[in-house]
Amino acid sequence: MARRQGGFSELLEFSATLPWKVSCAIAAVSFLALHFAAVATSSAQAVKTLGELGPAVDHQFLHLFASFLQFIVPAGFLIGATVSFLKGAHRRGLFEQASAAPRETVSELDWQDFEQLTGEFFRRGGYEVAEQGGPRPDGGVDLVVTKSRQRYLVQCKHWRSQQVGVSVVRELNGVVSAEGAAGGLVVTGGQFTREAREFARKARIELIDGEALADLIGAVRHGVANDPINDAKSAPTCPKCGGGMARKVAGQGQFKGQAFWSCATFPRCRGKLPI
């Protein structure tokens, strides 16, 4: 059973999820409001009858409460703003590193940075991203991404030595149905099994493997806008094997920087189509 966090810890955690400018603004507003309450209740009320004792105690309690929180609450939001700013800078640094050397960066990241990179990729695609991962149970969901009021659940699996199997896709599909989300995505730095891809095609789950993710991130460097969810939904059927296809971008040659559809099982199947 997980230990319950204290109020200040929960405040820090909440403020760190907000944009740092928002946390700074809340810190300023909360200080002014609580400081005003502390000043307004600073004078003690005279007690002449027993009936006035209760309101006088409440008045004094409000003064102590506001006097204490006028420093604690703003401090919590300022600390959260600092954490949010540093996390944002780290995500942007990861993305710049990955856009310069996509395949090398994706394969070398640990699972935490891989999740951060995936979230930043969705942000660059115009999505609002809420991180669900970390030490707490996440129900098979690491990121919740939203765009045009459509909510999608994302599971990140940065497995290097094994393929992501059908059980992961099936689990996420169950969570998508239970929460009424528009769909789900599984993103991995490696590859998916054939069974996982077949199940995903029949469900509301899109798959992005490590090679596809590297190509999509690299495309941003060439000025190609990407929408990972719509790209996955609009993927055609491979003309050679009949399987799914993934959007990729040529990294070299005369077509460098141009997007095309490539078979998701590449290099086993080398089917491709122009976009």
> Tens of pLDDT along 12-48?
888 888 889 999 999 999 999 999 998 988 876 565 6
CA dihedral of 196, 197, 201, 203, whole degrees rounded to 10: 20
Percent of the chain with pLDDT over 70: 80
Question: Which token pair is 34?
Answer: 């609580």
73-119: per-residue pLDDT in tens?
A: 999 999 999 999 999 999 999 988 888 888 888 888 888 899 999 99
CA dihedral of 180, 12, 76, 90, whole degrees rounded to 10: -100
pLDDT at 222 over 70: no
* Separation CA 42–CA 217 (nearest Å): 57
Question: Which token pair is 38?
Answer: 């502390």
Task: Tell me which range, 21-30, 157-166, 246-255, 266-275, is most confidently predicted by mean pLDDT.
Answer: 21-30
pLDDT at 1 over 50: no
- Asked if residue 185 lies in contact with residue 229, where contact means CB atoms within 8 angstroms, the answer is yes
196: left (phi over 0), alpha (psi -120 to 50) or beta: alpha
Within 10 Å of residue 212's Cβ, how many Cβ atoms? 25
Query: Residue 136 — pLDDT band, cuts 50, 70, 90?
Result: very low
C-alpha triplet 168, 153, 130: angle, nearest 5°: 130
φ, ψ of residue 206 to 5 degrees: the values are: -110, 150
Higher-confidence position of 238 and 265: 238
Summary count for the chain: helices (H), strands (E): 9, 8
Question: Which token pair is 79?
Answer: 């600390």
CATH of 110-274, one of 3.40.50.10490, 3.40.50.720, 3.40.1350.10, 3.40.50.2300: 3.40.1350.10
**pLDDT value at residue 230:** 65
pLDDT at 272 over 90: no
φ, ψ of residue 242 to 5 degrees: the values are: 80, 5
- Cross-strand partners of 186: 155, 207
Within 10 Å of residue 248's Cβ, how many Cβ atoms? 23
Give the three-class secondary structure for 184. Answer: strand
Average pLDDT, the chain: 82
- Only one residue has tokens 């951060």, namely 116
Cβ neighbours for 118, distance < 8 A, ≥ 6 positions apart:
142, 143, 154, 156, 187, 213
Among 211-215, 228-232, 257-261, name the one with the lowest average pLDDT: 228-232
- Only one residue has tokens 């409001």, namely 33
138-189: per-residue pLDDT in tens?
A: 457 899 999 888 899 999 988 766 789 999 999 999 999 999 999 999 999 8
Choose among 222, 3, 197: nearest CA to 102: 222
Higher-confidence position of 146 and 213: 146
- Kindly report the pTM of this predicted structure: 0.69
- Only one residue has tokens 């969570």, namely 175
